Structure 1
Amino acid sequence: MRFSVGGDSHGPAMYGLVEGLPAGFQVSIDEIDKNLQRRQRGYGRGKRMGLEHDRAIVKSGLWKGLTTGAPVLIEIANLAPRSEMEMRSLPRPGHADYAAWTKYRLDDLTVYAERSSARWTAALVSIGSIASQMLLKLGIEIVGSVVAIGKVHCSIPESVCVVARDASPVYCHDPLASCEMVAEIEKAIDRGDTLGGIFAVSAFGLPPGIGGYGELFERLDSKIGRYFMAIPSVKGVFVGNSDVSLPGSQYHDPFTVSDGRVARRSNNAGGVEGGISNGQPVVVVASVKPIPTLGNGIDSVNLKNMNVEKTPYVRSDVTAVPAASVVGESMLGLLLLESILEKYGNDNFDLLKGRLENESLPCWNDGLGEKHHR
């Protein structure tokens, strides 16, 4: 399975393309649109989200709502006009402006905002929603939650109440922390500042044995690092418990037996060991930097005359951590589905489901390893 996104932030549309999906799966466009709307909301979002009305338009790959095995292409129309018309030569610290100019050498920094803008994540969420729908039919649920904005933090939960999370204006499962996060955002608005934070995304129900250590990017955790770092503004990713100050005796997850099956007493590994899922929930924690466009500006250098100037305000968010959590759900869905298809095949969805459901847990004396003991 492969996926990619295209389009310019202020072009006619954004496009999401996913190849290698199994045939015969009924896709809910309403569910895609629901996730697109979640991405647009969240306290601290900017004016552009009031101008856009994201809806998925499927251009190819479905027949009577069913996947056909052909590439699925989804279009998300752009409605918001560009907020600045003049050529820009003043780079914003923290944005791609300056670094991209040194590489591509086109003398208008607005060009680089078209691709480095987080607008393309709308296309990612559209195709990621299809992946999440497939995973849910396979018994795997993906849920994200904001666990920090600015200096306000709460704990990463073992499970997330989706109703409580969706009732929060910042998509936080903890009602008290949610209120404090809103207050933190309001203070930043008053200062003309922006805020970063942390979100966590968990996958429940993933069977053990997904991923592998045969080659570097077959590893589930290496895929997580690779794909999550592609999300705009994500600066760090951790799988499981990030408190590595704990000694091994407290960090590693002891084995036990529950109902005649192997179980664990904790999940500090975040569901992945040796690059392979171990049957515990997969937990991914991502750090998101503050938005680089500040209401009060920040010192920069005008590339036309080398004068030090304050950056101007360009229509932007105060924080995008809630939206990033929705993008994280889609990214985890895509990479987990990719790994499952690598193991079980991608011909037909019902066949895939049957293979996954019929695979029994390994037994030490099942005879498969017999010849290695002679």
Structure 2
Amino acid sequence: MLRYLTAGESHGEALMAILEGLPGGLRVDKEKIDRDLARRQAGYGRGERMRLESDKAEIVCGLYKGKTIASPVGILIRNKDFSLDTQAQILNPRPGHADLAGILKYGFEGARPVLERASARSTAAVVAVGAIGKIFLAEFAIEISSRVLNIGGKTTEKETRKAIDTAKSKGDSLGGVFELVIKGVPCGLGSYVQFDRRLNARLSYALMSIPGIKAIEFGLGFGYGYKSGSQAHDVIGYSKGKGYYRKTNNAGGIEGGISNGEDIVIRCCMKPIATLAKPLA
């Protein structure tokens, strides 16, 4: 089983990740990791920090001649802005952020120690880990793709850019929805035997850990609440060439916590970021 840990603060010297559980002999292409890190920083409306940093992964352990050796892989991403000790204390916690809850939980004098760790900047380390995960999955012809479905309720590029510009001019922010599609997943991953072995539960746990994600759905998702059983469930078909298959994919590729051989389709909703130019009254 793969597992990882990350460390580092938004304005610290570096972000770090340790990925454990990879078999030996997997060739890790650092260019693929850096490509995903660059993709994380792209997109219209990104903040100043995204333009400042140019993330590159340094693999500091766990490889021999570019291949894994079954020991933990250590990844380092250096921050250009590592001004943590000179950053001012924050005494006005932001609604929608971990600021106040973190202050009260850990007894800090202000929000600076909280926001440095509870920051979207931490996702750079997770992206690097995920990029290696995609390299591993490619060995089994499993591919993951993603796309933005809407930003602030707008769906076309022209509309979303206008909505972003309008929100920015008002000192505001926007939420949105994105979709993941995982192709090539064989039938049988996950299990109904225990709650923590259900594939949809495992995927939800990972995706909901991304800062700002507030909702997740698989396949038809919340649409199930508006359908009858005869409308919602996927008819099972069979052919010699394909074997068992579903004629639709409302289940999003998972039934009873187990992959059923169809594409796994997941949608997540991200809230507007909590940093606003105008305080909430």
The structure showing larger relative contact order (alpha-carbon pairs under 8 Å, at least 6 residues apart) is: 1
1:33 and 2:34 matched = yes
* Correspondence for 1:95: 97
Task: Select 1:135's aligned residue among 123, 127, 137.
Answer: 137
Structure 1 pair 295/200, CA: closer, same or farther in 2 (3 Å)?
Answer: same
Quick one: which amino acid aligns to residue 77 of structure 2? I
Question: What SS does structure 2 have at the residue aligned with 1:89?
Answer: coil
Deviates more, 1:212-221 or 1:266-275: 212-221
Q: Is the 8 A contact 2:12 2:81 kept in 1?
A: no
- Secondary structure in 2 matching 1:25: strand
From the superposition, tell whether residues 74 and 100 of structure 1 become closer, same or farther in structure 2 (CA, over 3 Å). Answer: same
Taking the aligned partners of 2:169 and 2:82, their CA distance within structure 1 comes to 26
Amino acid at match of 2:18: L
Residue-by-residue CA offset, 1:322-373 (whole Å, 9 max, x unaligned): xxxxxxxxxxxxxxxxxxxxxxxxxxxxxxxxxxxxxxxxxxxxxxxxxxxx
Map residues 294-309 of structure 1 onto 2, 5 A cutoff. 294-299=276-281
Give 1:182 shift.
1.3
Residue matched to 1:224: 203
Residues 274-306 of structure 1, C-alpha deviation per residue, up to 9 Å, x if partnerless?
Answer: 10000000111111000001122323xxxxxxx
Match of 1:290 among 248, 266, 272: 272
In 1, Cα distance between the equivalents of 2:200 and 2:153?
28
Map 1:355-370 onto structure 2 (within 5 A): none
Q: Give the Å deviation of 1:87.
A: 2.0
Q: Distance in 1 between matches of 2:132 and 2:106?
A: 34
2:247 equivalent to 1:265: yes
Opposite residue 236 of structure 1, the aligned amino acid is A
Quote the Cα distance in structure 1 between the aligned partners of 2:87 and 2:116: 13
CA distance in 2: counterparts of 1:217 and 1:285, whole angstroms: 21
Cα distance in 2 for residues equivalent to 1:90 and 1:10:
19
| Aligned-pair identity (%) | 41
Give the Cα separation in 2 of the matches to 1:32 and 1:23: 19
User: Structure 1 CA distance, aligned partners of 2:161 and 2:240?
Assistant: 44
- 1:2 offset after TM fit, Å? 1.3
Distance 2:165 2:91 in 1: 31
Q: Which of residues 111, 116, 119 is equivalent to 1:117?
A: 119
Query: Counterpart amino acid of 1:251?
Result: A
The answer to whether the 8 Å contact 2:13/2:82 transfers is no
One-letter code aligned to 1:226: Y
Deviates more, 1:184-193 or 1:92-101: 184-193
Q: Which runs of 5+ in 2 are unaligned?
A: none
Query: 1:74 and 1:31 mapped to 2: Cα distance?
Result: 14
Question: Which string of whole-angstrom CA distances, capped at 9 and with x for unpartnered residues, describes residues 2-39 of structure 1?
Answer: 11111111111001111010110110000000000000
Equivalent residue letter for 2:117: R
1:248-274, CA deviations, whole angstroms, 9 ceiling, x for partnerless residues? Answer: 111111011234421211100010001
Tell me the residue number matched to 1:337. Answer: none
Deviations 1:121-159 (A, max 9, x none): 100110110110111121100001110110214xxxxxx
Report the structure, 1 or 2, having the larger strand content: 2
Secondary structure, in 3 states, of the residue corresponding to 1:35? helix
Q: Give the letter for the 2:78 counterpart.
A: A
Equivalent in the alignment of 2:234 = 253
**Cα RMSD between the aligned structures?**
1.3
Q: How much has 1:82 moved relative to structure 2?
A: 4.6
For 1:52-71, list aligned pairs within 5 A. Answer: 52-71=53-72
**Which residue of 1 is the match for residue 215 of structure 2?**
236
- The residue type paired with residue 257 of structure 2 is G
For residue 202 of structure 1, what is the aligned residue in structure 2?
181
Residue 11 (structure 1) aligned with residue 16 (structure 2) = no
Which whole-Å CA distance do the structure 2 matches of 1:282 and 1:232 have between them? 22
Q: CA deviation at 1:62?
A: 0.5
May I ask how many residue pairs the two structures share in their alignment? 276
Residue number among 161, 174, 180 corresponding to 1:182 in the alignment: 161
User: What's the TM-score, normalizing by structure 1?
Assistant: 0.72
Which runs of 5 or more residues in structure 1 are unaligned?
154-176, 300-374
Provide Cα deviations, 1:27-62, integer angstroms capped at 9, x if missing partner: 000000000000011111100111111000001100
Aligned partners of 1:191 and 1:149: how far apart in 2? Answer: 16
Alignment check: 8 A CA contact 2:149 2:179 kept: yes
State the TM-score, normalizing by the size of structure 2: 0.95
Equivalents in 2 of 1:135, 1:146: separation in Å? Answer: 23
2:173, 2:264 → 1: CA distance? Answer: 30
